[in-house]
Copies of this chain bind each other. A is one copy, B any other.
Amino acid sequence: MLFQNPTFLGAVASTLLLSTSFVQGVCLHNHGRNLQAGPGSVPISNFSYIGVTGPLGWAGLNTANVKCSTANVQSPINIEHDVVPLSKTHPQLSIPNVKSAEFENLGSTVEVMINGTTIFEGKTYSLKQYHFHTPAEHLIDAQFYPMEVHFVNIASDGSILVLAAIFELSLTGTNTNLLDPLSAPLLTITEPGSSTTTGPLSFSDITNFFNTVPLFKYTGSLTTPPCTDGVIFLVADTFLPISPKAFLEFKSVLKFNARYVQNAPGEENLIEVAAGQLPK
């Protein structure tokens, strides 16, 4: 468990540590994120997507975020079909169905707390949550898409595997059933720091999706502070449908939470590129 700001966290720990969802959240998805006290039991991320607390200012929020502005392997990227290879093997993702799950608004995203396991290339990862970005963070062949979901998996050695799927708007109103049971509870957690409980969630379709569709594979980073690099990304090369209604609902709550597209993996961090072009 990484805390970037132990002093501040200490101040809110007395209430937060009573919350199981907090413990789950920080241990996995909040891997090193700065946190602030929310109005309820849910910690709010201290970074944003606008201005000096936005992606160009993330490194200034905490020295632990230095990779956001200096690492040469960062996510998201523009995934070109003729550049980024498909994974030769599939993950084995398993998520037990649940009768209900914690659903939290962290300010920077909304996420569903669940337990699962992913086996990929011989390594076993734990899955604790999935969350959403709108618009999608990755571009595909230079095009943007309305939304993206990230299933963040962490192995016992700390290595991170993100299973990502990108949504495209459906003209027929079709909506991926991953989203359907979230629509009603989503509208009760519009306030950052708020949380609610979902109804029953079934994961057979989404696990079957990741376990069978072609997946781009590349090594990138967390797309949020501290921008930890060395993260394996498996991004589905098949879109999930999102209905116009669901898109507007998610957008009204998430508002805008996509990091700008980073330089190609291995190329100089774009903040260093931009800094090098400033007048002397």
Chain A positions near chain B (C-beta within 8 angstroms): 49-52, 54-57, 59-60, 66, 69-70, 78, 134-135, 139, 141-144, 168-171, 244-245, 247-248, 251-252, 255-256, 260-261, 263-264, 267, 270-279
Contact = CB atoms under 8 A, between A and B. Distances in A.
B171 A248 contact: yes
12 contacts: A51-B267, A52-B270, A56-B260, A56-B270, A56-B271, A56-B273, A134-B144, A135-B135, A139-B255, A171-B244, A171-B248, A260-B260
A261 to B, nearest CB: 6
A222 B134 CA distance: 25
Identical copies of this chain, number: 2
B256 A142 contact: yes
Contacts of A278: 59, 69-70, 271-272, 275
A270 B171 contact: no
B142 A264 contact: no
B144 A50 contact: no
A206 B90 CA distance: 51
A61 to B, nearest CB: 9
Contacts of A142: 49-50, 255-256
A71 to B, nearest CB: 12
A277 B144 contact: no
A144 B255 contact: yes
Given A171-B245, A248-B171, A274 B51 contact: no
**Most B C-beta atoms less than 10 A away, residue of A55, A263, A277:** A277
A230 B271 CA distance: 25
Given A54-B261, A144-B255, 7 more contacts: A50-B261, A51-B78, A52-B273, A57-B277, A59-B278, A60-B277, A244-B244
A78 B52 contact: no
Nearest to A146: B146
Nearest to A169: B244
Contacts of A135: 135, 144
